[in-house]
Amino acid sequence: MRYFPLFIDLKGRRVLVVGGGEEALRKVRLLLKTEVRIEIVAHELHPELTDLAIGGNIAWVGREFSPALLAGATCVFVAADEELNNRVSEEARKRDILVNVVDEAELSSAIIPAIVDRDPLVIAVGTEGAAPILAQGIRSELETDLPPFLGALTRAAGALRERVADQIPAGNSRRQFWRQFFFGGIRDAFARGSLDFEREVEKAFETGSSEAAEGRVALVGAGPGDPELLTLKAQRKLREADVIVFDRLVGPQILEYARRDAVRVAVGKAPGKHSFTQEQINSILIREAKSGKHVVRLKGGDPYVFGRGGEEQAALQAAGIPVEVVPGITAALGCAAAIGLPLTQRGRNQSFTILTGASEDGIPEHDWRFLAQKNQAFAIYMGVGTAGQTQARLLNAGIDPLTPITIVENGTLSSQRVFEAVIGDLASSIRVNSIEGPAMIYVGLTREQSASIVAFPARKKAS
């Protein structure tokens, strides 16, 4: 490591900025986050710098640089022409004053990292000048990962430190308190609003010193398959989970977001294979939460859409366990986007229905007459096994046999396959194409015939 990362207290100190253009302005904006006194030397100032000077935020101390201006400065930032860059760098080095010349690592004794600012939490990313674009990219990733309220939460923690030290014994209990604070219920309450926050903090003080940590469960929607369709909240929940209880529909790439030491429990319900009963899943969730774990119940698509999220939620609530629900992109929406299939279109359908093709005892009783009408549009989940019956019921109810259907298998994944046919051929399309993965059946919708939507290469047509 050639450059040592160091946070310098600039309060009450003085820095010099040489140059008055766009680059100088950028440095000044950063410096203004601190309480440093900023002096600037330039022939001309960018209008925004002029405003800052008029407002008294910075001091325009001269047009010409002279070494005397360096006296007493903690550091100097330079964004001028080549000659002046060289000269200021040399004079600063002679005096052992830190110097940063924009885009000139060789002339600089200090370089400015890419910064994520959640003051007082500040993250600095540097590559010793080797790859600024990499540093910027990492910074952007951190920006999206760290919610904006994190700075205020960190400040709130600072305000509680003494009280925690007084009331909660050091060691496990105190660690647990802070974990709850930064990663658990207290943080969630903080994100929601202040009253909730205070209540959660008091609760943690009450239990924190005595009892074991409070476990909780988040029912998290993982989306239809493509990991990029996870929400930011789902990613965070995954990172924070101690235990992840997941379905068959959730792919390994999504589990990559979990911590390495998180316990993973597969409770997949593959059709026709042995699987956990809903009661067994509920009791796993309750048991883990009761032992103080943060549990994520990860479900394909959205937890509330044909996902039995409501039942799990009720069972957990009955057991007194806090539950949170994080929505996901449900398969009917994710698959439609992946293949360019609009779900509503002006002048065609005024509503869009989602149905299940399977229930405990075979095919559910839908209002087939209604569905068979002209201009109805719907998507059938879990409809592969009962496709023949669905087709027969719709035809009996008078649907036009030429009503278009689109079947998407493994939607949003690289194994995605798409078949277009008509309702009269629904069952045979499934049979002929050996559709086996999870599939969405759309009825009454047609794709935009625009060549510009090419979401996945594996696009086939039913023969």
**Catalytic site positions:** 247, 269
Residue whose C-alpha is closest to residue 288's, from 328, 253, 319 = 319
Q: Which is nearer to ligand SAH, 70 or 407 (CB)?
A: 407
Q: Which is nearer to ligand SAH, 369 or 431 (CB)?
A: 431
Q: Which is nearer to ligand SAH, 208 or 223 (CB)?
A: 223
Q: Which of residues 399-418 bind ligand SAH (CB under 6 A)?
A: 408, 410-412
Helix, strand, or coil here: 108? coil
User: How far apart, in Å, are the Cα atoms of 331 and each of 4, 237, 275, 299, 459?
Assistant: 49, 21, 22, 11, 18
Residue whose C-alpha is closest to residue 377's, from 308, 447, 433, 307 = 447
| Token representation of residue 106 | 């060789």
Cβ neighbours, 10 Å, residue 302: 25
CB of 150 to ligand SAH, least distance (A): 30
Helix, strand, or coil here: 99? strand
> Residues 230-249: x/- map of binding to ligand SAH (CB under 6 A)?
-------------------x
Q: Which is nearer to ligand SAH, 85 or 330 (CB)?
A: 330
- Return d(Cα 164, Cα 157) in angstroms, integer: 9
- Return d(Cα 67, Cα 225) in angstroms, integer: 62
Cα angle: 324, vertex 329, 334; to 5 degrees: 170
Work out which of 440, 443, 445, 462 binds ligand SAH, going by CB under 6 A: 440
Q: Which is nearer to ligand SAH, 18 or 315 (CB)?
A: 315
Q: Which is nearer to ligand SAH, 42 or 440 (CB)?
A: 440
Work out which of 19, 20, 185, 301 binds ligand SAH, going by CB under 6 A: 301
DSSP-derived pairing of the beta strands 439-443 and 404-409: antiparallel
**What residue has token string 């398959």?**
225
CB of 345 to ligand SAH, least distance (A): 21
305 binds ligand SAH (CB under 6 A): yes
Work out which of 181, 381, 419, 442 binds ligand SAH, going by CB under 6 A: 381
> Hey, CA dihedral for 390, 392, 394, 399, is it positive or negative?
positive
CB of 364 to ligand SAH, least distance (A): 13
387 binds ligand SAH (CB under 6 A): no
CB of 379 to ligand SAH, least distance (A): 8
339 binds ligand SAH (CB under 6 A): no
Torsion of CA 50, 52, 53, 55, to 10 degrees: 120
| Residue least distant from ligand SAH (Cβ) | 301
Helix, strand, or coil here: 44? coil
**Sequence-distant (≥ 6) Cβ neighbours of residue 171 within 8 angstroms:** none
Work out which of 97, 189, 254, 331 binds ligand SAH, going by CB under 6 A: 331
Stretch of 97-105, 117-125, 293-301, 344-352 lying at the interface with ligand SAH (CB under 6 A): 293-301
Give residue 103's identity as a one-letter amino acid code: D
- Return d(Cα 389, Cα 423) in angstroms, integer: 12
H-type helices in 340-458, by residue range?
368-372, 387-396, 426-432
- Return d(Cα 326, Cα 144) in angstroms, integer: 17
262 binds ligand SAH (CB under 6 A): no
CB of 356 to ligand SAH, least distance (A): 7
Work out which of 438, 442, 443, 445 binds ligand SAH, going by CB under 6 A: 438
Stretch of 81-89, 128-136, 277-285, 302-310 lying at the interface with ligand SAH (CB under 6 A): 302-310
Work out which of 77, 178, 257, 306 binds ligand SAH, going by CB under 6 A: 306
Cβ neighbours, 10 Å, residue 177: 24
- Return d(Cα 138, Cα 155) in angstroms, integer: 24
Q: Which of residues 198-227 bind ligand SAH (CB under 6 A)?
A: 224-225
CB of 330 to ligand SAH, least distance (A): 3
390 binds ligand SAH (CB under 6 A): no
- 67: preceding bond cis by omega (within 30 degrees): no
Whether the Cβ atoms of residue 114 and residue 129 lie closer than 8 Å to each other: no
Terminal-to-terminal C-alpha distance of the chain: 62
Stretch of 69-77, 289-297, 301-309, 442-450 lying at the interface with ligand SAH (CB under 6 A): 301-309
Work out which of 244, 335, 355, 435 binds ligand SAH, going by CB under 6 A: 335
Q: Which residues bind ligand SAH (CB under 6 A)?
A: 224-225, 249, 299-302, 305-307, 330-331, 335, 381-382, 408, 410-412, 438-440
